[in-house]
Structure 1
Amino acid sequence: MKISIYIVVFLSFFNSCSSSSPEGTGGGGTPLPTNPVTPTKPLTDTEAMDQVQKDAIKYFWDYADSNSKLARERYLTEDPNFEANIITTGGSAFGLMSIIVGVERGFLPRAEAVSRLATALNFLEKADRFHGAWSHWMDNKTGKVIPFGTKDNGGDLVETSFVCQALITVREYFKNGSAAEKELALKADELWKGVEWDWYTKGENALYWHWSPNYGWEMNFKLEGYNECLITYVMAASSPTHPISAEAYHQAWARNGAIVHSGSQYGIPVVLSYNGAVGSVGPMFWSQYSYLGLDPNTLKDKYADYWQLTQNHAKIMVQYSIANPGKWKDYSDKCWGLTASYTRNTDGTTGYTAHQPNNDVGVITPTAALSSFPYTPVESMKFLHYLYDENRSKYVGIAGPYDAFSPQYDWVTPRYLAIDQGTIAPMIENYRSGLLWKLFMNASDTKQGLKKLGFTSGKYGIQ
């Protein structure tokens, strides 16, 4: 099955460092903290959204790296110091956007947030860059690349595009503020404009994911749709300094039109061909990572109506869980959501996989449903209450919902991944107020790039 290289590498990595015993049976780690108690009085919808946003933001505030103020790749409550030196680029990007949500909601002190964001951006400025692109992982003290794989020791254009999506929202949010905020906005603008998107075409009408100073283009992963990489083409086309041609988007990403899919699942149109999903849909993060800033509502090009695409993705996932062909315990319209996350291996140990309808092992990942709030508000709210009203003591910990659980096996991993935790607060906020969507979509460079690629959006006057 062809899925994103992100998942292929992570699957290998997580299996190599899986715990040798099931969760909760010891192993010498720090004892688990006392979990929140499931309340006897159900939360209101507003209380529940406030609480899960506050909790998810903690990962990027209370549990951020103390030096860089960026996000650790993961946090294991049973072993808090595990890989504490690894900073994740994409997860940090989502963390920057989560902090904006925290400031806007009054959950975080604005001045302290600005100071932390300045530290984070200064770290990014000094960190290793490869023709402007950051690596997937970096050391928390030096900013030097930590290889994500043997040949993946250079620029990661997709992770970099997530950072640039965040940098534009930071710039737009703070550009008219205090002197410190204006300085922060200027720094964000400088960093975003430093990416050499055109370098990552290899001179072709396509974008390539990786470049290494040691291995060059040997990984040779062309970005072709549909997966989580739409934002990479949008950012590359929007660049005022190193833009790509529109032909790269149409020929490579859209596969000269072959990206369009005429089939359906559960009577719901699939719209685009999901890489490796064989007529169905992929993991939910494909409708989340690109859309923290990119608003799919009224967004269209000649290949898709992106509101229909993203909504239908979530709706199909809900219907799949209701149909429950695997007969997994508790799957329903209030317990649903398949995406890439920690997983339970057949021997009870912890691994990693891209959960989706054609790769379902009975494991639910909270970020899948919670980060789908704009698309399936009723079902996402049901899931939120399922977590916080019915199962808070089991499935919610020190920084919000744990990464994954399985009612089938009475299993939960008391761990967090930045890339999963980081989409929760931003996407719920986009449902509540559209904050990040408005910031990103109203930016002049974003509009220019979308127009260049042939997108329209009645909501933002892009014609």
Structure 2
Amino acid sequence: MIRISVLFLAFTFFSCGSNADKGKENAEENTSGVTVLNDEELLDAVQKQTFKYFWDYAEPNSGLARERYHPDGVYPENDANIVTTGGSGFGLMTLIAGIDRGYVSKEEGLKRLDKIADFLAKADRFHGAWSHWIDGNTGKVKPFGTKDNGGDLVETSFLVSGFITVREYLKTGNENEKAVAAKYDALWKGVDWQWYTNNKNVLYWHWSPNYAWQMNFPLEGYNECLITYILAASSPTHTIDAKAYHEGWARSGDIVTSNTKYDLPLILKHNGAAEFGGPLFWAHYSYVGLDPNQLTDKYANYWDLNVNQTKINYKYCVENPKNGYSADYWGLSASYSRNPDGSIGYNAHMPSNDQGVMSPTAAISSIVYTPKESMAVIRNLYQNHKAETWGNAGFYDALSLQNKWVAKRYLAIDQGPEVVMIENYRTGLLWKLFMNAPEVKQGLTKLGFKSGKYGI
């Protein structure tokens, strides 16, 4: 996973399968010759094609999600086999969705899940946490930076969200399914969340065997890291004290804001993005398993928080047609980007850092919050711009149609939430599995969360 998060203020730059079924034979075609699908058919086409990122184009030795997939086969040096930890967590959830929908058989899916569990059990770990990047051939840490060569607790938390979801899906199955579920249960219980407090009332993002705590990145809200605290509080083996959440993440209550935009309350202070809120992945990564419906604590109603952030992002785009945006072409989030010289970089796109680049994952992964507005983007891209924007793993990662530019590449951290959030919109499957895990309910209760939907 290319890390932006709170560090996005630095704006660091980094320099196969058939199409999904097109629906009924007698379906109408638009003027471009693209089959016009109804909403359900369209969602299934996007979900099925994007699923291929994690199935057909996974890193072959480990079975995990590649950091990136370039259909042209051209990668930076030694990059094709880099596994992304966080993106692989999203990938595990896509595998469950794919198995449940019959995109692959349960037998095939179980074999892949077993392979992944065995690889991760042997891969480098740092007080139970995995590194940001892993060499898919060897299981050894692939440094994300000089001092970022050890445990990455945030990436690990996205991975663990997938572990718990897999376990819950398989734990009542046959003997083989229960055996794989047990492997994922053991993996998640091995993470030493308490270690990553460094004996303080806050969690830290990184620890290195060579540089210890020198990265010095405390997890303070609000950004994409809420799930890290929830899992740390939920751990039955290495839990944290609730004070770490309230004093560290919530800044002793200072996380709350009265700021509004377009008459929509931001509710929480978005780190470095006080006016409009941050990039839209902040409304996705923690919530692939964590269901924000009816979820509250003393700081926020998390459904309102995410809906408002998404609508602010949407309204900003609609108000800025000069950048090519419109009601059916919107969505700013971290993704590949267009550098001034025309080359491909990476950037945390958001209203306060608008580069004229639209990231399809922004609207697609927000479908749970803005179904009408998100469907408009999906339909526009599929029906009117399919030739430019659609590839063998779904919509490409980043677009600037007004500049006739498309990054014909994919990132795990963008494709994964698309599949997962489409599934949550259609059936709520991943939300139900994760939220009904006994430890998750206990952890949420410990931190003072309530959910009428899940009896918390």
CA-CA distance at 1:40 after TM superposition: 3.2
2:155 to 149, 159, 165: 159
1:430-445 aligned at under 5 Å gives the runs 430-445=424-439
2:65 to 64, 71, 84: 71
Gaps of 5+ in 2: 23-31
CA-CA distance at 1:33 after TM superposition: 10
CA-CA distance at 1:333 after TM superposition: 1.5
SS at match of 1:279: coil
Map Cα deviations across residues 192-233 of structure 1 (whole Å, 9 max, x no partner).
000000000000000000000000000000000000000000
One-letter code of the match for 1:361?
Q
Partner residue in 1 for 2:93: 97
Partner residue in 1 for 2:26: none
Give the Cα separation in 2 of the matches to 1:35 and 1:109: 19
2:300 to 290, 298, 304: 304
Gaps of 5+ in 1: 19-31
**Which consecutive segments of 4 or more residues in structure 1 shift more than 4 A?**
5-9, 32-39
Equivalences, count: 442
1:263-282 aligned at under 5 Å gives the runs 263-282=259-278
CA-CA distance at 1:178 after TM superposition: 1.6
**1:245 is the counterpart of 2:241:** yes
**1:293 is the counterpart of 2:285:** no
1:113 to 109, 114, 122: 109
1:165-244 aligned at under 5 Å gives the runs 165-244=161-240
Partner residue in 2 for 1:340: 334
Partner residue in 2 for 1:401: 395
Partner residue in 1 for 2:344: 350
SS at match of 1:318: helix
CA-CA distance at 1:5 after TM superposition: 5.1
One-letter code of the match for 2:118?
N
CA-CA distance at 1:373 after TM superposition: 0.6
1:328 to 323, 328, 333: 323
Give the Cα separation in 2 of the matches to 1:40 and 1:285: 30
SS at match of 1:303: coil
SS at match of 2:60: coil
Partner residue in 1 for 2:441: 447
Cα RMSD for the two superposed structures: 1.8
**1:12 is the counterpart of 2:18:** no
Identity %: 60
Map Cα deviations across residues 108-160 of structure 1 (whole Å, 9 max, x no partner).
11100000010001101100000000000011111000000000000000000
Give the Cα separation in 2 of the matches to 1:6 and 1:54: 33
**1:456 is the counterpart of 2:444:** no
One-letter code of the match for 1:388?
Y
One-letter code of the match for 1:114?
L
The alignment's TM-score, normalised by the length of structure 1, stands at 0.93
CA-CA distance at 1:180 after TM superposition: 1.3
Map Cα deviations across residues 367-425 of structure 1 (whole Å, 9 max, x no partner).
00000010000001111101111111110101000000002211001100111111111
Structure 1 residues 449 and 46: alpha-carbon distance in aligned structure 2, compared to 1, 3 A threshold: same
Asked if the contact 1:259–1:303 (Cα under 8 Å) also holds between the matched residues in 2, the reply is yes
Give the Cα separation in 2 of the matches to 1:8 and 1:132: 30
SS at match of 2:267: strand
Asked if the contact 1:302–1:454 (Cα under 8 Å) also holds between the matched residues in 2, the reply is yes
Asked if the contact 2:276–2:309 (Cα under 8 Å) also holds between the matched residues in 1, the reply is no
Which moved further from structure 2: 177-186 or 205-214? 177-186
The alignment's TM-score, normalised by the length of structure 2, stands at 0.94
One-letter code of the match for 1:12?
T
1:38-57 aligned at under 5 Å gives the runs 39-57=33-51
SS at match of 1:363: coil
Give the Cα separation in 1 of the matches to 2:346 and 2:9: 10
Asked if the contact 1:35–1:396 (Cα under 8 Å) also holds between the matched residues in 2, the reply is no
**1:129 is the counterpart of 2:125:** yes
CA-CA distance at 1:85 after TM superposition: 1.8
